Chain A
Amino acid sequence: MSFVDTWRRHDFGAVAARILAKTPSDVRRALSRPRGSLDLEDFAALLSPAASARLEEMAQLSHRYTLERFGRTMRLYAPLYLSNACANVCTYCGFSAHNRIKRKVLSDPEILAEAGVLRSHGFGSVLLVTGETGRVGREYLSSSLRLLRPHFAGLWMEVQPMAEEDYAALAEEGLSTVLVYQETYDAAAYARHHLSGPKADMQFRLATPDRLGRAGMKRIGLGALFGLSDWRADAWFTGLHLRHVETAYWRSRTSVSFPRLRPHEGDEIPVTLFGERDLVQAACAFRLLSTETELSLSTRESSRFRDRAVRLGFTSMSAGSRTNPGGYSVEPESLEQFAVDDSRSPAQMAAFLRSVGYEPVWKDWDRTYDGFGGSPGAPAAQGALAS
């Protein structure tokens, strides 16, 4: 059964109202559940205003569960923007088709140049990011994966939703992780913010994790762009989606990301408030709902916040990110998709992690498992690329 059927059974406004109506005793019950046995009503309670008063307890539990499952480690990765060409008109995105920016699709030599910089920083995992255009489809991505495969153990992707057979083919090329954020589960808000282009098809996007699961993708990443609609309801629907993926595609790992709206090129749009305190509440609620899922935080957030977030349940972070194609070496001055806040280098981020007793993890997979021969180690053994 597709998640679309599950999603249809829940009215967004009714979910938002149900969360608002949760009481302190609902929160107390959720917090007293044994680990791993929270249901989606407990999750709703933890997302509610009533849970705000118990945030420190939620954080303590989230920290404890995360420590027991993941240890004192933090996975580091970097985005590699391959293209900013995009056919979609979205109110919140710097790459939106109506924005008059220079469009670029990286060539093979440019991809390798960017990869070289990331390898020299020590990254063993890279997240390929693109806009949505016919030029950057299965062929281009397959070719990019083949190009990058000798240099990275972890090949991840955050691009437009694709067909199941495309995902299966890309997995064969070594793709292990696909992140597809729903942006919002509120149909009205979705229509308001995705004005035209293929992305306006909300249901195709909703069913993407199902296609990934059927294609056997090793890790499936979910998330909402918090701020487009009521964040509590969007977080709850993301949790509903997570439960669906965890039970239907139980061989796949999952991750949840917490992008927030950031300043960008284009029109000002009204956004709902999703502050740092809300972000902490959402992340801790996810950790209590699922002790296994990875929680990811991007460089959209400030260094001050990210430093604290290490102990709040997050398990992976991007570092030193550039959000423009060619941003690491080819065209560092071109327009970014969104502004990063934490501009520390990967080395500085790693040093910080060590200083608080955490181990930065640069590589957690090896290409030999996929039958491609060994992966470069991290971060000491860097190949010819980095030189």
Chain B
Amino acid sequence: MSNTPLVIAGVSFTSRLFLGTGKFSSGEAMARSLEASGTEMVTVALGRIRTDGESDDILGHLDRRRYRLLPNTSGTRNAREAVLAAQLAREALETNWLKLEIHPDPKYLMPDPVETLEATALLAARGFVVLAYVHADPVLCKRLEEAGAAAVMPLGSPIGSGLGLESRAFLQIIIAQSRVPVVVDAGLGAPSHAAAALEMGADAVLVNTAIAAAEDPVGMAAAFRLGVEAGRAAREAGLAAGRESARADATSPLTAFLGEEAR
């Protein structure tokens, strides 16, 4: 089974499944789930971890030789706050990688496109590797690419909803025209959703709630791993599907005038 590595900002990933670290019942449950998922990169909310050097339940259970940390700016409401959070994250966690998420709305946690674009430009100029969490908005994704985003993370459906790829038609456009990796983030409720995203050509997915809140998070992490691998393998094998195949309309042929050899 072929599996071309995913490359973001020059770093290779074998696993195309990224995980969130919130919502687990314990640090141990999280660690075992990460193990089962095969992931190589996890996102951590800066707001959740202790940045004063004291021992931390999340960081304490993360083997940083195995998992690249992707600090996120969850909780920030505008570009200014996000830039401050990013700088703190770079100092505290010693990484310039960042999942930029700015949601001024505490109810639905919808990403703010205007602030996100502004913050991406500022952070990219300061040397951050920015993965920007946004709506599945194709123009915004191109603007982020130009602003220096290392990857775009369009949402599949509202965060935590588990509805799957409700934004499918827009994701397809984003995938078709993006020049940076596309990571589908938010709303994936089942391994089949993750598989579908990879089949469509998404470069990776990020999952948190569906695994952390499952009855058996470790089992679900393993299931997502299989879903992602199946979707990617299908993509690389070349899906034969498509019911849109042409049927030649014999009653009004368009090419008959070309001569006898036209069929």
Contact = CB atoms under 8 A, between A and B. Distances in A.
Partners in one complex: yes
Interface of A: 29, 31-37, 53, 55-61, 63-64, 246-248, 250, 276-277, 280, 304, 308, 311-312
A57 B258 contact: no
Contact of B244 (A34, A280, A311): A34
A36 B240 CA distance: 15
Interface string B239-263: 0111011111100011111110111
A63 B254 CA distance: 9
Contact of B240 (A32, A53, A63, A304): A32
Contacts of A61: 246
Contacts of B245: 31-32
Contact of A60 (B177, B254, B261, B262): B254
B238 A247 contact: no
B244 A56 contact: no
Contacts of B254: 56, 59-60, 63, 308, 311-312
Contacts of A280: 255, 258
At the interface, is chain A mostly helix, strand, loop or mixed? helix
Given A248-B179, A280-B255, A308-B257, A60 B242 contact: no
B87 interface: no
B172 interface: yes
A286 to B, nearest CB: 15
Interface residues of B, number: 27
B176 interface: yes
A355 B213 CA distance: 65
A37 B172 contact: yes
A32 B245 CA distance: 4
Nearest to B248: A56
B142 interface: yes
Interface in B207-263: 238, 240-242, 244-249, 253-259, 261-263
Nearest to B243: A32
A247 to B, nearest CB: 5
Contacts of A250: 142, 177
A39 to B, nearest CB: 9
Nearest first, the 4 A-B pairs at minimum CB distance are A32-B242, A59-B254, A57-B246, A61-B246
Contacts of A35: 244
A228 to B, nearest CB: 23
Nearest to A244: B179
B177 A29 contact: no
29 contacts: A29-B238, A32-B242, A32-B245, A34-B242, A34-B244, A37-B172, A37-B176, A55-B263, A56-B262, A56-B263, A57-B246, A57-B247, A58-B246, A59-B254, A60-B246, A60-B248, A60-B254, A61-B246, A248-B179, A250-B142, A276-B258, A277-B259, A277-B261, A277-B262, A280-B255, A280-B258, A304-B257, A311-B254, A312-B255
